[in-house]
Each structure stands twice: as C-alpha cells, then as structure tokens.
Structure 1
C-alpha cells in the first residue's frame, strides 16, 4: 500500500488545495483558487482533460494534469504539468501521478507530451525527473522583469509624442466596446500571433473560447492594457485596431505580466509597440506600481532588444520539454 491515494481532481471543491500545492512547489508562478477555477471553466467541451491529485492523510500533496496544447492543437499531442508539495517529495507521489497520466494519454492514442520548467532552483528536481523519463529540451523562453520604481518612464516622452503626431491613438482596453470590439481584437490577435516565433504550428481557437481565455480572464487588467488605433483605417477584419498590448495581474504573486504585444506589419518601425508598453507601464505606475514580468522566445530578437531598452532584465529561462511516446511505448 502506498502512503497516499490518487483520485480525480474535483472543481471547484479542490481548487484551494491544488493552489496551495502549486504555490509551495512553484513559488515563481503562484496561483489562486479563482484563477484555477476560471481555467477549468474555460475549457472547451470538445477536448479531453485528465486531472489527478494525490492525497495523504486527507490532504492534497500532489497534482497533475494533461490536456490539449491549445496553441498548437493536434489530437495526438497533450500539454501538462505535475507538482508535488515539498513536504511530500521523494516519496513516489510524482511517479505515481505521472504513470497514471501516462496511461490515460496512451489510452487516447497520444504520441507526444509537452511541459515547461524553468532553470530556477525549485525546478531542478523536476528537470531531472523529466530527463529520466526520456523528455528532451526542445525550446527556450526567456523571462525578464522590471519594477516600475526602477523605470525612467519620462525618457520615452518623445516616443509617445511621435506616435501621437502620426495620428495613432493608444486607448485603454477598458474604454473600448461596441458590437465589433471583440471581433476586431480577436482577428488582430490571430493576425499578430502569426509573426510571433513560438516554435509552434499555431491553431486558432473559436471566438467564444478566445474571449473566455483572454478577455474574461480574471487576471486581465483592461485599464492597464492598451490598443493602438488608426482612425483612418477601416479594415474588414480588424477595423481601426492596428496593435495592442495586454497586462495581467497575478494576485497570488502581486506582480503584473505582459501577455501579448504586437503591431500590424505595415505599422512596424514606427515605435508603436514600444509606445504601447510604455503606456501600460505608466498606467501601472499611476495605479501604485509594481513588478512586471514578460516572456519572449530567443528568435524574437526585436522584442528582446525592445525590452532591454525599456529596462527589463533577464531572470530565468523556461524550457519546453517534449516526449515522443512512439519511442517510449
């Protein structure tokens, strides 16, 4: 008999217990029960998910999940994660959860599993765990950070003035609406993501699913997120929207993070993307300030250079690990 039991996770009942395990095991990206509930409730009923918890003495000590890779969906590819409370590590909890998830994936015909871990100390054991099971490092993502108290936001006054002189308006997401708003932003988001070097073949989510994931996300801060508008444009898909940058706020870690930042190709080179980020940083500073995290892939040199110019400094590298199940049947 193992000193713990495995069972299917139950939402919303287990949300708080799962959040506590995640926060203890991964302090770099803490979460809340509300964030977990939203993620669960936003899932598409068209896809299959597996959620497992390990209990010891009536307490949740480990969590694991598998589901579709929503950014690069294929029926045979799954994305997941596995975390064990530090007090329960090295006791077989992680191995038991992994084997249960692996059996579930194989039963569904999965041929590839993906996950992501950082090079921070708390993830060292997890990286070792993956490598022992045949996972290989396939893609890196750089995490950078900046606190508004260390940013010279007035250094970009001329940039904002030039963008405004070019007729471009930077409007908070909270001030935009109307029947076409969601559609324009949805189309713009998809257009911009085509040029982001993610190392993935992207798949598009339906509008309703995208709205739940992005605009209805409880961590999104519309008053800190900005859309760039060209009033002279009336594109059939994106209307006057030519770029945008979103800011989320992680209440568990009390820091902001940049979601998507991008500008349509024909408007690049004008400084609009940088201006969007500066507007967001100024809005955050005016709201009390705080740390901002951003994540970029090595091939995206333009964005990395821009972030350095804004004052962001590298704090971690997050690596995507992949396992080809056909070779590990």
Structure 2
C-alpha cells in the first residue's frame, strides 16, 4: 500500500468532490466548484487543496486555508474528507498533518475543523488534539411532498431574482456582509472585501442566481435567500439573511419560501440546509417550511501554539 499526499490537480476534481460527499448526501459539492475554488479564492486565504492518493487512486482531501476575512488574526481551517471504504488507513491523519504544517507557515495559531456527528469522526479529531465546540444541524426537505404557500408580500416589499444584479452585485454583497456580522459561529467574516466576495461566493459555478431570491425595499436589497445547486435535483441553502433594521417582517421566510417554489417548478426534488444549533430564528423558519433534521456536525478547534507547532519563521 502506497500513500502519497500531494496538491490537487484539475484531473482530480471528480474524485475530490466524491470524497467530500461520499456517505453524506446532505453535502453538495460539484467537480466544477472544486476546481473553481482552488483557482479563484483570494490569495490572502492561502487556500490549499491536498489530496491523498492511495495506490494511485484519490481517496481523500483536505481543504485548508487562512480565515483572512476575520477580525481576529491567526485563524485557519482544515476540513478532511476520506472515502468511507478507505478510512483508518492513515490517509486522514496524513492529510491533516500536512494541512496544519501549511497553516502554521502562514501564521495560523488556531485551526477550526468540522467532524461528522458520529464516534469515529469525533475520536479522529480528539486523538489529534482538537477540542469539541459548537454543533450545527443539517436538515432535508422533500420538495415533492408539498410546500408551504408563499407568505403575503409585505407593503413596500418586492421580490427579485439575483439575475437582476449581474451587472452590479455590490448591493447583495452589502446585505451579505451585514447579515454575517451576527451569524452564530466562532470566526467572524467582518473583514471580507468585495473582490474576495465576488470570487468566493458570487462567481461560484454552483450559485444559482435564478433561484436566489432577493427582497427589495425602496429600490435596494434588504434580504435574500442564496441558493447553490448540483446541476441535477439537489438544492442547497447557502445563506439566508436580512438587514437588521428590516428583521421581524418575515422577509427571510418570504424569500426562502419563494425560492423553494421556484426550485420545485424547475424540477429539483431535494433541498438541504444547515444551521448552528443556537440560530433559533432560522431553525424556526426551516421547521415551518417542513425541513427535518438528517445529520449534524461538530466544530473542533486546535491551538497549534499550545504544543510547539508554531508558525515557521
């Protein structure tokens, strides 16, 4: 058995996407998006996609980089995925070790990683010095089983598709950044620049701008429900948010419900979402829509400086 850890190549895109989602139907990642993100994310992220090649076959990946958008320096991420039939053969540990070395070289002192809510994944993280933190829940909605009706349109609000902002998506960027300020999580994204947002979010090949619905007041976007799709039957809620001054009017529920109806009309059958366990408002909306929990994952964090694994000079 020969194991090699190396950088991603474009020819690995399909295998890398498969490793990401194998045994996890609630996750959506297309080969096109794998390749796109590797080539187009902000250089400030020092993003790196490493693959584990076992006897000539790609069996796992680790996506790692610096949280360059955070106001707290030294934050990074490393998320490992290995095909179920090739776990416990050293690939995951080798990938994570390589990722930590890469991150330390760019000043990362705290690594954030996600692990599935199952004993083997959590044990993998704990044995490598990671401590368990917050939990997020995934939920599934069968679009063909009957959708809630779209709520009435509040006075002064109109709904648009994101396709209407192709020439100038900056107003959507403003809503996104404002909404992310109080999004539950361990790492904020308050410093995200517009060019980075364009590359990492707006220009992603899996972003469906026709299904992304925007609520507009007085001519400017104030809420939206952003959607990614796999080019087939699956729908992923990328981010649903409302400007703080417009909350309490049901705009997030309105935009997401309208988007789901559009998805059903377009032939999609399965919608997925995930939320931090403390995000009560969004969890309530998803419960109302009929989403049902299908999986969970835990955040694990490791302080690299605690064991002498400090950044290279």
TM-score by length of 1: 0.84
- Match of residue 205 from structure 1: 192
CA gap of 1:282–1:68, structure 2 versus 1, over 3 A, is same
TM-aligned CA distance change 1:271 to 1:89, over 3 Å: closer
Secondary structure in 2 aligned to 1:160?
A: coil
User: Which of the residues 157, 174, 185 maps onto 1:168?
Assistant: 157
| SS of 1:114 mapped into structure 2 | strand
> Which of the pair has more CA radius of gyration?
1
1:115-130 alignment runs, 5 A limit: 115-119=113-117, 124-130=119-125
CA contact (8 A) 1:6 1:97 kept: no
Q: Structure 1 residue 34: deviation in Å?
A: 0.8
Q: Which residue of 1 aligns with 2:311?
A: none
Deviation at 1:109, TM superposition (A): 4.0
Q: Report how far residue 70 of structure 1 moved.
A: 4.8
Q: Does 1:41 align with 2:18?
A: no
The answer to whether structure 1 residue 264 and structure 2 residue 264 are counterparts is no
Q: In the alignment, which residue of structure 2 is the partner of 1:274?
A: 253
The equivalent residue for 2:52 is 54
Q: 1:111 to 1:177 in 2, by over 3 A?
A: closer
Deviation at 1:56, TM superposition (A): 2.8
Unaligned runs of 5+ in 1: 234-239
Q: Contact 1:140 / 1:297 at 8 angstroms: preserved in 2?
A: yes
Cα distance in 1, alignment partners of residues 44 and 189 from structure 2: 18
Residues 199 and 87 of structure 1: is their aligned pair in 2 closer, same or farther, counting only changes over 3 Å?
Answer: closer
Question: Where do residues 168-247 of structure 1 align in structure 2 (5 Å cutoff)?
Answer: 168-178=157-167, 181-231=168-218, 240-247=220-227
Instruction: Measure, in 1, the Cα distance between the counterparts of 2:284 and 2:239.
Output: 16
In the TM superposition, residue 135 of structure 1 has moved relative to its aligned partner by 0.8
* Equivalenced residues, count: 308
RMSD after superposition: 2.3
Provide, for residues 28-49 of structure 1, a one-character-per-residue CA deviation record: whole Å limited to 9, x for no partner: 4253321101111222123323
Q: Tell me: CA distance 1:249–1:328, structure 2 relative to 1, closer, same or farther (3 Å).
A: same
**Quick one: distance in 1 between partners of 2:92 and 2:230?**
26
Would the aligned equivalents of 1:118 and 1:317 in 2 still touch at CA under 8 Å? yes
1:172-226 deviations in whole A, cap 9, x for unaligned?
1123444xx3121111211122232234333322212211222211111111111
Relative to structure 1, is the Cα distance of residues 184 and 15 closer, same or farther in structure 2, using a 3 angstrom cutoff?
A: same
Deviates more, 1:53-62 or 1:188-197: 53-62
Q: What is the CA–CA distance in structure 1 between the aligned matches of 2:237 and 2:254, rounded to whole Å?
A: 14
Aligned residues of 2:30 and 2:206 also touching (Cα < 8 A): no
Equivalent pair of 2:42/2:200 in contact (CA under 8 Å): no
Calculate the TM-score normalised by the size of structure 2.
0.88
Judging changes above 3 Å, is the alpha-carbon distance between structure 1 residues 30 and 319 closer, same or farther for their aligned structure 2 residues?
same
